[in-house]
Structure 1
């Protein structure tokens, strides 16, 4: 078992716990709210997140390059419970992959796979925290989330490090891609806000 993989898997588990705390505050009347993801309601965002949990979990357990595994999910009566359950399944899957030293097939990423586990986990760690911010912003404010992550040295460092490595080219940030072109951010910004800006989010976004 590679120590660096295991450490990143456990950081991802912490990121998932942070995200679950945010999503647990979602109520049915919130689901039609806009989010920082253009044209996505909160319901659409959570469908995407749950689908990603399932796809990455399947990849972590050895699934091949099957794009259908990453399809957006249909939410049940309790979307927060769907997010929590599939997030726990993903955490278990990443731990199993670390124990097996398994690479992951991620067919939705342009150059396919298999990817080393540390890259796959890094991708999803960023996705988890940025989408947690999307949810918090849609609910009216993400300051507590940003402060919690910025106060966790290892988690904030991992978020910013992976975000800095995401290509910011016209091709990589074209419409329909996961992230928009990067934004400028003030010199005094924290690491979470800097990561958001690098990925094209406006840290000051409000509904």
Structure 2
């Protein structure tokens, strides 16, 4: 399934960002309000594990998506759990298995293509969050923009995210959308639609 391979590409680009994280940077602020870099990475690792469990056939168990501790090697943790997730998505694609995602709407089950799209969006946007916290988001944005298929997939999934007061209330995954403006790239447009300021700086 093509979306699974696009997702694998998104994970590699995000992993290249996380590769540069050093233990002394884990207390940096991120674009996720109130979250340090450590808290963000704990969320990301938990999502890797939760989506992998769902892809293997787990039911709607919210505990499977709990944040996971960041060890002494954040990049290694990210790449290991990301590889496990990719394997799980590929196996789910071979079995045409839907996924239960208890954090999203009524929990599903969601068609695999849609579920992988959700995580592709999270991977690239949280990859940008990490890069922005480190002060260097331009490289990731440029890498995605060079990959026409991946940039189009990101924008397509983003456009399907509901933007109602209920869906974008405080505590939800995304804030109310911002006006992207004219001439912005697809990645920046996706960020704005999800309520993130592409010009965010710590």
Shared fold (TM-score, shorter chain, > 0.5): yes
Of 133-142 and 73-82, more deviation after overlay is shown by: 73-82
Write the distance in 2 (CA, Å) between the matches of 1:170 and 1:43.
29
Write the distance in 1 (CA, Å) between the matches of 2:153 and 2:128.
16
Equivalent position of 1:81 in the other structure: 76
Number of residues paired by the alignment? Answer: 202
For 1:21-60, what aligned pairs fall within 5 Å after superposition? 21-60=16-55
Write the distance in 1 (CA, Å) between the matches of 2:126 and 2:103.
18
Write the distance in 2 (CA, Å) between the matches of 1:144 and 1:68.
34
Write the distance in 2 (CA, Å) between the matches of 1:177 and 1:59.
21
> Secondary structure of 1:97's match?
helix
Equivalent position of 1:176 in the other structure: 171
Equivalent position of 1:189 in the other structure: 184
Equivalent position of 2:56 in the other structure: 61
Equivalent position of 2:100 in the other structure: 105
> Secondary structure of 2:38's match?
helix
Equivalent position of 1:154 in the other structure: 149
Q: TM-score, normalised by structure 1?
A: 0.97
Unaligned runs of 5+ in 2: none
Write the distance in 2 (CA, Å) between the matches of 1:86 and 1:47.
12
Q: TM-score, normalised by structure 2?
A: 0.99
Unaligned runs of 5+ in 1: 1-5
Give the counterpart of 2:193 among 180, 185, 198.
Answer: 198
> Secondary structure of 1:38's match?
coil
Write the distance in 1 (CA, Å) between the matches of 2:75 and 2:173.
23
For 1:106-125, what aligned pairs fall within 5 Å after superposition? 106-125=101-120
Deviation at 1:110, TM superposition (A): 2.4
Runs (4 or more) in structure 1 with deviation over 6 Å come to: none
Deviation at 1:75, TM superposition (A): 1.5
1:45-93: CA deviation from partner (whole Å, max 9, x where unpaired): 0000000000000000111111100000011111111111000100100
Write the distance in 2 (CA, Å) between the matches of 1:67 and 1:143.
34
